Amino acid sequence: GIVVVGSLNMDLVVRVARHPVPGETLLGSDYESYFGGKGANQAVAAQRMGGKVRMIGRVGNDGFGERIKTHLKAQGINVNATICINAPTGVAFISVDKAGQNVIIVSPGANSRLKPENLSPIEFEHTAVVMLQLEVPLDTVRRAARIGRESGARVILNAAPALPLSPADLALFDILVVNESEAQAYSGLAVDSPESGIEAARKLRQHCPTVIVTLGAQGAVWASAEGEGYQSAFEVRAVDTTAAGDAFMGALAVSLSEGRSLERAIRLGAAAGALAVTRPGAQTSLPTRLEVEAFLSE
């Protein structure tokens, strides 16, 4: 199976004619709420791709927490280790103006209370892949990586959002996945093409054995002990690029947990990412395994 240790959020979205300036009060639309957090999004992405998923995290006792757990459970995700605590659920406050520009404030809340000592090795037994992001405390991510390795799992870090990680940190993971801006932040190189992506991947491979750089509509590149490669993007009509990276991660993790090669796993990831950009929203846009297989055989 797959274990995700990561964030769970409620995204609260209000539409406005324009964003307010400091000190100003504006009226917006009715708010809409969406399930989010990179951890939860990637757990759902992997589950839709046919993975057996366990989600480890923290939510609050404010109503949102129970809603999130119920929602994940209904999709078939094991949330026994996602615990409601006495803190507010992580929330992203998002305002969207007429031009579609977002202003976002994230309040990590309960996610920031997931401590290293909350992780128990029993939860990582019989796990092929551990999937991590950087929306819970870094010490917790480090311990999850160590436990994952000790239990024989492959440990994948989607190093988002970009945080200062040391070479020793990067060495804790088997596979590092970054998008253009993260690749740039971690490598110090300008990344805007497959050529510069592979340069960044090579540089980061000094610390982490396998590095994948996703490049949006330019596909993805990777560098590993077995070699290097380029996966072009599948051509689609993009309507909303939100969660492309999460779809990619879910498909990658499931494919690797099934014992497929890195190259095959990245191809499946790229197909899942392409389908996700053809639909609006985050979790709502994540494709199923059947949809991805059908898309690949078109």
Please give the residue ranges that form the binding site for ligand ADP (CB under 6 A).
179, 214-217, 219-220, 233-234, 236, 238, 241, 244-245, 248, 270, 273-274, 277
In this structure, are residues 10 and 105 in contact, taking their beta carbons and an 8 Å threshold?
no
> How near is the Cβ of 79 to ligand ADP at its closest, in Å?
24
Indicate if 97 belongs to the active site: no
> How near is the Cβ of 240 to ligand ADP at its closest, in Å?
10
Q: Please, which residue, 1 or 229, has the CB nearer to ligand ADP?
A: 229
> How near is the Cβ of 220 to ligand ADP at its closest, in Å?
4
Q: Please, which residue, 41 or 82, has the CB nearer to ligand ADP?
A: 41
Q: Please, which residue, 184 or 257, has the CB nearer to ligand ADP?
A: 184
In terms of Cα–Cα distance, which of 224, 219, 229 is closest to 193? 219
Q: Which of 11, 169, 174, 246 is catalytic?
A: 246
In this structure, are residues 78 and 28 in contact, taking their beta carbons and an 8 Å threshold?
no
Q: Please, which residue, 10 or 277, has the CB nearer to ligand ADP?
A: 277
Q: Which residues are identified as catalytic? A: 246
